[in-house]
Structure 1
Amino acid sequence: MDHRKPTAAMRRRHNLIAEWRGVEDGPLMDLPTLMVGNLAAQIVAQAGLANRVKLEDILAAWQEIVGAFLFKLTRPDTFERGVLTVRLLQPTAHHALMQEKVKILRRLQEKLPDAKIKDVRFRHG
């Protein structure tokens, strides 16, 4: 957070508002000045959007990693705490993906190192 001391203009504004409201000069000046740019990352993290952005990156790389055939049968669904959950349309795709799980995980980690993917889990449905 950006904690700046109040400027002269800020003090004048505060005094005008305090006078208009009929209150004593109070703790309003002690509140930190926050810049919207400084809050954006915090808001994204609290809203859970940071993981969503990573999931979009994973989805973009998924077809290249598993190939066109398996891409039609699967979709990355959630990404939480380093675990990617992939939904499968057909149970037969589960066997093929389990055989290649280690390779898929390694390729995801190489392609998207910032995502910090620790594991891949496959779910039907």
Structure 2
Amino acid sequence: MKRPRKDTSVERTLRAWRPTLPSGLASLAADTAQPARQLVTAALGQLKIGEQLDEAEVSAAWSEMVGPMLSKHSTPRGLRHGVLTVGVANPIIQQELRGNLKRDILARLQQRFGARRIRDINFRVMG
């Protein structure tokens, strides 16, 4: 007589986590042969961690993109749905950036990070 197969630790863990996984990941987790990279990529996409990484990358490159003078008076504040929000020190800097500089800065950002990641820039006075 054949003994019933015991659950593996992976199967028990997946069964325990399945109810807490974001929608769509439960089906990926059901296939235990699924490569871990696919699960992690899907999880990062649904949790929008990729956007947070983009924000950090853009913030790190900002002074290089706009130069030292403008970087002293402006700071990237967020990236949502491809729109980079930049906080500026005053309306004069805001107007300067909204003018011809916006196209140049956007082109440099898109060249470095991709046009799909950064589609537009919004400058806001932070005070």
TM value normalised by structure 2: 0.68
3-state SS, counterpart of residue 12 of structure 1: coil
Equivalent residue for 1:8?
none
Distance 1:54 1:88 in 2: 20
- Quote the offset at 1:45 in angstroms: 1.6
Question: Which letter maps to 1:42?
Answer: A
Question: Which letter maps to 1:32?
Answer: D
1:76 aligns with 2:76: yes
1:13 aligns with 2:6: yes
Q: Which runs of 5+ in 1 are unaligned?
A: 1-10, 15-30
Question: Which letter maps to 1:54?
Answer: D
Question: Which letter maps to 2:114?
Answer: P
Larger Rg: 1
Question: Which letter maps to 2:82?
Answer: G
Distance 2:123 2:47 in 1: 26
Distance 2:124 2:65 in 1: 18
Equivalent residue for 1:58?
58
After superposition, the CA RMSD in angstroms is 2.2
1:54 and 1:115 in contact (8 A); partners too: no
Distance 2:56 2:43 in 1: 19
Distance 2:87 2:39 in 1: 34
| 1:25-82 CA distance string (max 9 Å, x none) | xxxxxx5325544321122122221111111111122101111111111111111111
% identical aligned pairs? 30
1:55 and 1:79 in contact (8 A); partners too: yes
Distance 2:50 2:65 in 1: 22
Q: Which runs of 5+ in 2 are unaligned?
A: 8-29
- Equivalence map 1:1-125=2 (5 Å): 12-14=5-7, 31-33=30-32, 36-99=36-99, 100-113=101-114, 116-125=117-126
3-state SS, counterpart of residue 118 of structure 2: coil
